[in-house]
Amino acid sequence: MDLNLINAAEARNIDALYESIGSDPYILDRMDRIPFVNTPLHVAASTGQTRLAVEIMNLKPSLSTKLNPNGPSPLHLALLNGHFETVKGLVELDKDLVRVKGREKLTPLHSSAETDDRVGILAEFLCACPESIEDQNVRGETALHIAVRNRNVRALGVLMGWIRMTGTHWVWVKYIKDGRGNTILHMAVFTSRPDIVESVVRGYCKLHMNEKNLEGATALDVAERLAAGFERTKIESSLRCAGALKSSSLANDCSVVDFLISQQSWVENMYRFYLLMRKGMSMEMRNAVVVVAALITTTTFQAVLSPPGGLGGGDSPSYDNSPFANINATSATSSLLPTTNISRVNATIFTSTTTNKHPNPFLPMFYAMNTVAFLASIAMIILVLPFRVFAMAHGSLVYLTLCYGISFMIIPRMHSFDTCFAISSIVIAFLLYLVYLIPNTGLPLNSDEPQLEKAIDPDLAS
C-alpha cells in the first residue's frame, strides 16, 4: 500500500489524497485488486474521518466492501469504534453495505444488535436495508439470535417491533434456527431472564412455540433444566400460558422426511393451495386475479337482484300480496301505459305462466351456479389480498356475502329455494373466511402444518 495514502488518511488531509492520486492515477485500482487489504477507507472509517471516508468511497466505491486481513469492512470498523456519523455517511452512499459479511459472516446489523448503545444505528440499518434482517452468521444466527444471546432487551424490542410493523413479510425470520437448531425462544430461555422470554413469547406464533432443537428439546424442556428459583418458575409460567409443551407431550410428531412420505389429507391440500396463493403469485398476477374476481362478484350479485325477465309473480294468485302490488296497481290506472298484460310486467322466465305450483325447473339451477360463481370470486379476493393490509376489505366482503344470502329471503317469488340459498351462502362465506384466518392467527390446522409450510415455503425451512 502507498504510504502517502496512509499518511493522508491518518492526517485527515483530502488534499494529500488527491496529490497521491495525481502522482499515480492507478493507485486505487491496484489496491482494489488485492483481495484483503487495509485501505485508506478502512483507516478513515476506523478513526471517524467522515468527510475523508465519504470522499474515498465516492472515488472508488468497491473499496467499501473490501475486508482487511483481520476480517472487518470499513463500515464494521466505523461501527465498532463508535463513529456513528461515519457509519451514517457510508450507508447513505450505499445501503447494501449493511449486508457486507465480515469475519464469521458477521454483518454490521449483527454488530449493532450486540450492545445497547448501538440501538439507534440498528433501527437506521433496518430502515435503510430491510433485507439485512434475514442474514445469518456462520453459527446460523440472525440479529434476533445475537440480541437475545447478548441479553440486549432494547435491540430485541427494536427487531421484534420492526417485524410486527412491517406486516407478515418478515415474520418467518423470527422462527429461523441457528446451527444447533435453537430458535430465539430457546435462546431466550437459556438466558434465564423472564423479561426476555416474555418479550419473545409476546410476538411468537403458537404454531412455532414447540419447535425442537437438534437435541430434541422444546423451549419448555430447556426451561425445566434451569436452576430452581423464581426465574425458572416465571419462565415456565410464561411458556405454559403461551401454549408451550414438552417434547414428550407432542402428538403426531414427525420429521420432514416422514411428512413427505405420508399421504396428504384434504386439509393439507387446502393449506397448500393457500400458501401458493399467498407466496407463489407475482404482483401483476394478483392484480389480474382481483380485477377478474371483482367483475364476477359484481355480475353474479346483480344477477340475484335482476334475474333474466325481471322480478315478480306474473299472473300468480298471490301476486297482489307482493311488495310490488301497489306499484303495478298504480301503473295500471295510468293513461300513459297500456293496460293489457300489465300484470305480467315483472314476470320472470323462471316463474310458471300458468300456475305458481310448478316453478320453472331452471330456477334452482340458475341460482345454484350463480351462487357458486359468487362465492368462488369472493374466496379468490380474500385469498389474494394480504390480511393485515386489507383487513377492512375482507370484512366488507363477508358482509357483502351476507347481503347476497339475505337477498334471497326478500326477493318475491323465490318459492322454497330462498332459505336454502340464503343459509348455504352465509355458512360457506364464514367457512372460507375461517380457513383464511386460521394461518394468520397462528392456530395450526393439524400437527403436520409446520412441515407442510416448510415444504412449500423454503424461507421457513432454515
Rounded CA-CA distance 175/172 in Å is 6
Residue 438: pLDDT band with limits 50, 70, 90: low
Q: Are 113 and 155 in contact (CB under 8 A)?
A: yes
Taking the whole predicted model, whether its pTM rises above 0.75 is answered as: no
pLDDT at 449 over 90: no
The confidence score (pLDDT) of residue 5 equals: 66
Three-state DSSP state, 281: coil
Residue 292: pLDDT band with limits 50, 70, 90: very high
Q: Are 280 and 272 in contact (CB under 8 A)?
A: no
Residue 306: pLDDT band with limits 50, 70, 90: confident
CA distances for 184 relative to 21, 122, 247, angstroms: 49, 18, 17
Please compute the mean of the pLDDT values over residues 341-353 and round it to a whole number: 47
- Cα R_g (the chain), whole angstroms: 33
Q: What is the pLDDT of residues 222-273, one digit of tens each?
A: 999 999 899 999 999 999 999 899 988 876 666 677 767 777 777 777 777 7
Rounded CA-CA distance 462/453 in Å is 12
Rounded CA-CA distance 293/269 in Å is 22
Please compute the mean of the pLDDT values over residues 387-394 and round it to a whole number: 72
CATH number, domain 1-93, options 1.25.40.20, 3.40.1000.10, 3.30.360.10, 1.20.1640.10: 1.25.40.20
* More confident of the two residues 446 and 198: 198
Length of the chain: 462
* Residue 234: how many other CB atoms lie within 10 Å: 17
pLDDT at 437 over 60: no
Q: What value does the mean pLDDT of the chain take? A: 79
Rounded CA-CA distance 237/243 in Å is 10
Residue 445: pLDDT band with limits 50, 70, 90: very low
Rounded CA-CA distance 141/177 in Å is 7
Q: Are 204 and 220 in contact (CB under 8 A)?
A: no
Rounded CA-CA distance 40/58 in Å is 13
Q: What is the pLDDT of residues 98-149, one digit of tens each?
A: 999 999 999 999 999 999 999 999 999 999 999 999 999 999 999 999 999 9
pLDDT at 15 over 50: yes
For the chain, the structural domain boundaries read 1-93, 274-311+348-441
Residue 446: pLDDT band with limits 50, 70, 90: very low
The confidence score (pLDDT) of residue 315 equals: 46
The confidence score (pLDDT) of residue 196 equals: 95
pLDDT at 387 over 60: yes
Instruction: Give the three cell numbers for residue 222.
Output: 430447556
Q: Are 236 and 224 in contact (CB under 8 A)?
A: yes
Exposure string of 416-452, with b = 16+ CB inside 10 Å and e = fewer, is eebeebbebbbebbeebbebbebbeeeebbeebbbbb
Please compute the mean of the pLDDT values over residues 414-431 and round it to a whole number: 63
The confidence score (pLDDT) of residue 157 equals: 94
Q: What is the pLDDT of residues 163-220, one digit of tens each?
A: 988 866 778 888 999 999 999 999 999 999 999 999 999 988 887 899 999 998 999 9
The confidence score (pLDDT) of residue 427 equals: 72
